[in-house]
Amino acid sequence: MENDPQTYRATASPGGRTTGYVTPPGAAAIDERKLHHSTIWRMLSWLGDQLAAMLTGRRLLQEQHPGSTCHRFVGAVAPHKFRSPQRERLLRQSRQLLHLIAEWDGRFPEKFFPRFATRSGFS
């Protein structure tokens, strides 16, 4: 991931195919809503802003499973993915949270999202 050449545009349109709604057959209007590449950034920046949920989730995971190494995951991001330190921080934190969620969901019966983070008032 830290060396992934994938762009937001390629993520939103894999293989050059538009990801979006299909106009129903016989519809008079053309439905042109589609996933925009900026939506990918908005999702990642929202995840990166969930710092309180990530820190609390890490703490609880460490308490219940002391062998967990999720707190050591740096979440390195390729330099071409950001232009400012703030954007790098958000991308790193979103990677760290996604890493935590994967481990959390594999160890606890309650899913991290929406159950834990939403009910705890973090999101």
Q: Are 94 and 45 in contact (CB under 8 A)?
A: yes
Q: Is residue 2 part of a domain?
A: no
How many domains are contained in the chain? 1
Closest alpha carbon to 50 in 100, 120, 97, 110: 97
Q: Is residue 107 part of a domain?
A: yes
Q: Is residue 36 part of a domain?
A: yes
Q: Is residue 87 part of a domain?
A: yes
Closest alpha carbon to 105 in 119, 45, 123, 97: 97
**CA separation for the pair 112, 61 (Å, rounded):** 11
Check pLDDT > 60 for residue 14.
yes
pLDDT digits (tens, 9 = 90+) for 44-96: 999 999 999 999 999 999 999 999 999 899 999 988 888 999 999 999 999 99
Q: Is residue 98 part of a domain?
A: yes
Highest mean pLDDT of the ranges 1-15, 26-40, 93-107: 93-107
Its domain, for residue 98, covers 8-119
Partners of residue 20 on adjacent β-strands: 34
Check pLDDT > 80 for residue 108.
yes
pLDDT at 72 (0 to 100) = 93
Residue 31: C-alpha distances to residues 19, 25, 26, 28, 34 (Å): 12, 11, 12, 9, 9
Closest alpha carbon to 68 in 79, 57, 77, 80: 57
